[in-house]
Amino acid sequence: MKSGFIGIIGRPNVGKSTLLNQILGEKIAITSPKPQTTRNRITGIYTDLEAGNGGVQMIFLDTPGIHKPRNKLGAAINETALNTFKGVDVVLVMVDGTADFGTGDEFILSVLQETDTPKLLAINKTDLTAPDHYKALYDKYDGFGVFDDIYGISALDGTNVKQLVDRLATYMPEGPMYYPEDMVTDHPERFIVSEIIREKLLQYLDQEVPHGVYVEIESYKEHENLTEISAVIYCEKKSHKGIIIGKGGRKLKGVGKSARLAIEEMVGTKVFLELFVKVRENWRDSDRMVRNFGYKDE
Ligand X SMILES: Nc1nc2c(ncn2[C@@H]2O[C@H](COP(=O)(O)OP(=O)(O)OP(=O)(O)O)[C@@H](O)[C@H]2O)c(=O)[nH]1
Using CB under 6 A, list all residues that contact ligand X.
10, 12-18, 31-33, 35-38, 64-65, 124-125, 127-128, 154-156
User: Which amino acid, residue 166?
Assistant: D
- Residue among 159 and 292 whose Cβ is closer to ligand X: 159
Q: Which listed option, ligand X, Mg ion, none, makes contact with residue 32 (CB within 5 to 8 Å by class)?
A: ligand X
In the complex, the smallest distance separating the C-beta of residue 211 from ligand X, rounded to whole angstroms, is: 10
How far is Cα 173 from Cα 170, in angstroms, rounded to an integer? Answer: 8
Measure the CA dihedral 120/126/129/135, to 10°.
40
Residue 160 or 230: which CB sits closer to ligand X? Answer: 160
Q: Which does 233 bind (CB under 5 to 8 A by kind): Mg ion, ligand X, none?
A: none
Q: Which does 69 bind (CB under 5 to 8 A by kind): Mg ion, ligand X, none?
A: none
Is the Cα torsion angle 203, 209, 210, 215 positive or negative in sign?
negative
Least Å distance, CB 175 to Mg ion, is 26
Nearer to ligand X, 2 or 125 (CB): 125
14 binds, among Mg ion, ligand X, none (CB under 5 to 8 A by kind): ligand X
Residues sharing a CB contact under 8 Å with residue 146, sequence separation 6 or more, in sequence order: 109, 112, 113, 119
Q: Looking at beta carbons only, is 37 or 43 nearer to Mg ion? A: 37
Based on C-alpha coordinates, what's the Rg of the chain?
20
Q: Give the shortest CB-13-to-Mg ion separation in angstroms.
A: 8
Judged by beta carbon, residue 3 or residue 154, the one nearer ligand X is 154
H-state helical runs in 117-274: 131-144, 161-169, 189-204, 208-211, 238-245, 250-267
Residue 55, binding choice from Mg ion, ligand X, none, Cβ under 5 to 8 Å by partner class: none
Residue 128 partner contact from Mg ion, ligand X, none using kind-dependent CB cut-offs of 5 to 8 Å: ligand X
Classify residue 109 as exposed, middle or buried by CB count within 10 Å of its CB (0-12, 13-18, 19+): middle
Residue 170 beta carbon to Mg ion: minimum distance, rounded to whole angstroms: 25
Which of ligand X, Mg ion, none does residue 33 bind to, with CB < 5 to 8 Å depending on kind? ligand X
Q: Quote the crossing angle between the two packed helices 250-267 and 189-204, to the nearest 10°.
A: 140
Q: How far is the CB of 206 from ligand X (least distance, A)?
A: 15
Residue 257 Cα to chain centre, angstroms:
23
Q: Which residues bind Mg ion (CB under 5 A)?
A: 16-17, 37-38
Cβ proximity to ligand X, 4 vs 74, nearer residue:
74
Residue 212 CB, shortest distance to ligand X, in Å, is 15
What does DSSP say about strands 226-235 and 214-222: parallel, antiparallel, or unpaired?
A: antiparallel
What, of Mg ion, ligand X, none, does residue 13 touch, CB below 5 to 8 Å by kind?
A: ligand X
For residue 271, list its beta bridge partners.
227
In 20-110, beta strands by DSSP E: 42-48, 56-62, 90-96
**CA-CA distance, 213 to 241, in Å (whole number)?**
10
Q: Cα(31)–Cα(280) distance, rounded to whole angstroms? A: 25
Q: What residue number has its CB nearest to ligand X?
A: 65
Distance between CA atoms of 296 and 110, rounded to whole angstroms? 24
| Smallest separation (angstroms) from ligand X to the CB of 34 | 7
Least distance CB 291 / ligand X (angstroms): 21
By beta-carbon proximity to ligand X, the closer residue of 128 and 146 is 128
Closest CA to 179 of 89, 49, 40: 49
